Amino acid sequence: NAGVTQTPKFRVLKTGQSMTLLCAQDMNHEYMYWYRQDPGMGLRLIHYSVGEGTTAKGEVPDGYNVSRLKKQNFLLGLESAAPSQTSVYFCASSYSSKGNSPLHFGNGTRLTVT
Amino acid sequence: KNEVEQSPQNLTAQEGEFITINCSYSVGISALHWLQQHPGGGIVSLFMLSSGKKKHGRLIATINIQEKHSSLHITASHPRDSAVYICAVNGGSQGNLIFGKGTKLSVKP
């Protein structure tokens, strides 16, 4: 089992460019999450999904969009990147909701927006 | 005031020392998580607990729901324990996790 796989690992964008981060999990988890991690701050939830075809906003959703067309995949899109979106992005999945089951994390994507 | 506070922020220990990392929270929860983030950046789940104590190898996690406090202990610390330890509670909207800022542990040989 690969667990949670994120691609790409690194990316540099110019302001205004777009990109999509891909998260794939092979554990048949219903719940998937996108977080960002910035220096001096805890992980913050961007968007999450409670099942195939559903998405919901987290704490810091502005500037991002997501899609969950297949249960195993959760995509995070930046339509027009801004320097404030420079961060490390983590995808995670869990088998139940309400924070009552362990999270499985991907290895992260380091994004720099210049 | 942050909803999840960890202390200390940074901790340096000598190999073999007993280590304690603390987590206090201000919201109602039903579960608390301890995570480990290695220098390479990957994050792994160490414990999820809602009461009492859990032990895994040299790691012990305790929680006191009434006092809204949890501790992570590492016995006989080793340089490979060097990492950032993160506390998180399911006190957010829809039960989503709220994360602490982490405690950076460095264990010297």
pLDDT tens, position by position, A74-91: 999 999 999 999 999 999
Q: Is B27 on the interface with A (CB under 8 A)?
A: no
What pLDDT shows up at residue A96?
Answer: 86
> SS3 of B93, please?
helix
What pLDDT shows up at residue A45?
Answer: 96
Contacts of B99 in chain A (CB under 8 A): 42-44
Q: Which amino acid is it at B33?
A: H
Q: Give how far A39 is from chain B: nearest CA, Å.
A: 9
Contacts of A100 in chain B (CB under 8 A): 30-31, 48, 90, 95
- Interface list for A 46-85 with B (CB within 8 A): 48, 56, 58-59
What pLDDT shows up at residue B76?
Answer: 97
Farthest CA pair distance, chain A? 39
Position A8 pLDDT exceeds 70: yes
Residue A46: burial class (beta carbons within 10 Å; 0-12, 13-18, 19+): buried
The DSSP string of B12-69 is: EEETT--EEEEEEE-S--S-EEEEEE-TT--EEEEEEESSEEEEETTEEEEEETTTTE
> SS3 of B94, please?
helix
pLDDT tens per residue across all 109 residues of chain B: 579 999 999 999 999 999 999 999 998 888 999 999 998 889 999 999 999 999 999 999 999 999 999 999 999 999 999 999 999 999 888 888 999 999 999 999 9
What pLDDT shows up at residue A97?
Answer: 79
Q: Is B56 on the interface with A (CB under 8 A)?
A: no
- Decide if A90 and B43 are in contact by the 8 Å CB cutoff: yes
Position A71 pLDDT exceeds 80: yes
Query: How far is the C-alpha of B24 from the C-alpha of B45, rounded, in Å?
Result: 18
- Decide if A42 and B86 are in contact by the 8 Å CB cutoff: yes
